[in-house]
């Protein structure tokens, strides 16, 4: 019976060397060590042996069984590692970028212009302020001389929340917050995104970007306002740009103006961007209304100021000859990639 065990072990060694899969390995395990396996058959015959033979054969059978189980475990580990390596080789995903195919990101054209304008204004002594997109009615309307029954609110219909908060319709709210913190004289600008219920077209969007500024001090005049705006535009476009001032009504300035620039898309000939007029409305501006200064706790007998609101999106359109404002908010990489 010891010879029979030796034959079983040699047979196992031959077969296990040919095993390629875990299924084949499981079958081999059942064949040699299962309830009806070859080792089990030998152990069932122990009852027919003498006590002395039974001890020798039983000890040899257990030794061979343990050797087989140990070999099966080693082979299983090898097969699993091989299958894993094959899976990794066939199904791996390279999460790194191929340098030859990668594209370096770039600033959005609106961001590019905003940073450029910020540099221009800081060189003229302006401070950059920021404010929340979600505003209160007070900062967005009341403090800017626009009470609840004022018809100007119809022109700035916006998005309201159940708690009374609103999405700001202009960055003028930043000016109000600035006045409460700063003491005259001061010069500030506040860039950011604003929201209105607009009927979108080539020059109007429901979400767009503004940059508003305010100068408060003693003996501030309209002449200083015009000079500041012309300096800004000449720095941006690297040339003198034709501008015009039209009377305009804005509750937070008095007197108020509309500053237009000649349309650079069509060369002032008339197109969809300028509404066939040859001019693009770019910058509402004017002298700060005394009520707004009072809301900012500023002495109106001593100080005056001017304020302006610049449409960043329209300025980008003029600078880069973009014929439709909706391109700026489309998220189309084919468009934004041109400015990389």
Q: How confident is the model at residue 101 (pLDDT cuts 50, 70, 90)?
A: low
Per the domain annotation, does 98 fall within a domain? no
In terms of Cβ atoms closer than 10 Å to its own Cβ (0-12, 13-18, 19+), residue 34 is: middle
* 232 close to 240: Cβ distance less than 8 angstroms: no
Residues 32, 122 share a domain: no
DSSP secondary structure of 14-46:
HHHTT--SHHHHHHHHHHHHSTTSHHHHHHHGG
Its domain, for residue 84, covers: 2-91
Average pLDDT over residues 92-112: 74
Out of 1-15, 28-42, 150-164, 245-259, the most confident range is 245-259
In whole numbers, what is the pLDDT of the chain averaged over residues?
Answer: 86
Residues 155, 42 share a domain: no
- 9 C-beta neighbours (distance < 10 Å), count: 20
Average pLDDT over residues 149-160: 79
Per the domain annotation, does 96 fall within a domain? no
- Please state, for a pLDDT cut of 70, what percent of the chain lies above it: 97
Q: How confident is the model at residue 155 (pLDDT cuts 50, 70, 90)?
A: confident
Does 281 have pLDDT greater than 90?
A: no
| pLDDT for the residue numbered 102 | 58
Which element (helix H / strand E) includes 263? none
DSSP state of 156: G
Residues 329, 239 share a domain: yes
Residues 292, 238 share a domain: yes
80 vs 156, more confident: 80
Residues 77, 20 share a domain: yes
Number of structural domains found in the chain: 2
pLDDT, tens only, 61-82 = 788 888 888 888 888 898 889 8
Q: How confident is the model at residue 114 (pLDDT cuts 50, 70, 90)?
A: very high
Residues 9, 127 share a domain: no
Query: What phi and psi values does residue 184 have, to the nearest 5 degrees?
Result: -60, 150
Residues 310, 244 share a domain: yes
Query: 166: domain CATH number?
Result: 3.30.930.10
The span from the CA of 188 to the CA of 190, in Å, is: 7
Of the chain, the end-to-end C-alpha distance in Å amounts to 83
pLDDT, tens only, 224-264 = 998 898 888 888 888 888 888 899 888 889 899 988 888 88
| pLDDT for the residue numbered 245 | 86
Q: How confident is the model at residue 118 (pLDDT cuts 50, 70, 90)?
A: very high
Per the domain annotation, does 99 fall within a domain? no
Residues 113, 174 share a domain: yes
The span from the CA of 258 to the CA of 272, in Å, is: 19
Per the domain annotation, does 101 fall within a domain? no
Per the domain annotation, does 302 fall within a domain? yes
pTM as predicted: 0.62
Residues 6+ apart with CB under 8 A from 284: 248, 250, 253, 256, 257, 258, 259, 308, 309
Out of 27, 61, 91, a domain closes at 91
Does 99 have pLDDT greater than 70?
A: no
Per the domain annotation, does 18 fall within a domain? yes
Residues 142, 65 share a domain: no
Strand 134-135 versus strand 127-128 pairing type: unpaired
């Amino acid at each position: 019976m010891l010879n029979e065990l030796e034959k079983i072990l040699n047979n196992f060694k031959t077969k296990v060397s040919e095993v390629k899969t875990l299924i084949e390995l499981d079958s081999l395990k059942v064949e040699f060590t299962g309830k009806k396996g070859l080792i089990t058959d030998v152990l069932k015959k122990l009852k027919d042996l003498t006590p002395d033979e039974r001890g020798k054969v039983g000890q040899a059978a257990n030794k061979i069984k343990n050797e087989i189980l140990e070999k099966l475990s080693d082979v299983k580990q090898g097969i699993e590692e091989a299958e894993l390596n094959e899976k990794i080789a066939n199904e791996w995903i390279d999460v790194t970028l191929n340098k030859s195919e990668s594209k370096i990101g770039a600033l959005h054209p609106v961001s590019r212009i905003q940073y450029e304008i910020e540099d221009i204004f800081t060189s003229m002594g302006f401070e950059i302020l920021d404010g929340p997109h979600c505003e209160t009615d007070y900062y967005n309307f009341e403090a800017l001389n626009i009470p609840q029954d004022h018809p100007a609110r119809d022109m700035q219909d916006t998005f309201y929340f159940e708690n009374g908060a609103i999405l700001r319709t202009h960055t003028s709210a930043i000016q109000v917050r600035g006045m409460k913190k700063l003491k005259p004289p001061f010069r500030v600008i506040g860039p950011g995104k604003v929201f209105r219920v607009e009927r979108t077209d080539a020059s109007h969007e429901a979400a767009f970007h503004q940059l508003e500024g305010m100068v408060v001090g003693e003996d501030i005049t309209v002449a200083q306002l015009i000079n500041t705006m012309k300096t800004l535009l000449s720095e941006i476009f690297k040339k003198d740009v034709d501008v015009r001032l039209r009377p305009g009504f804005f509750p937070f300035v008095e007197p108020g103006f509309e500053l237009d620039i000649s349309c650079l898309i069509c060369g002032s000939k008339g197109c969809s961007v300028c509404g066939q007029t040859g001019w693009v409305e770019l910058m509402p501006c004017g002298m700060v209304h005394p009520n707004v200064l009072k809301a900012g706790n500023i002495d109106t007998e001593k100080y005056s100021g001017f304020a302006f609101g610049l449409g960043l999106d329209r300025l980008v359109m003029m600078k880069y000859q973009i014929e439709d404002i909706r391109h700026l908010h489309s998220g189309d990489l084919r468009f934004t990639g041109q400015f990389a």
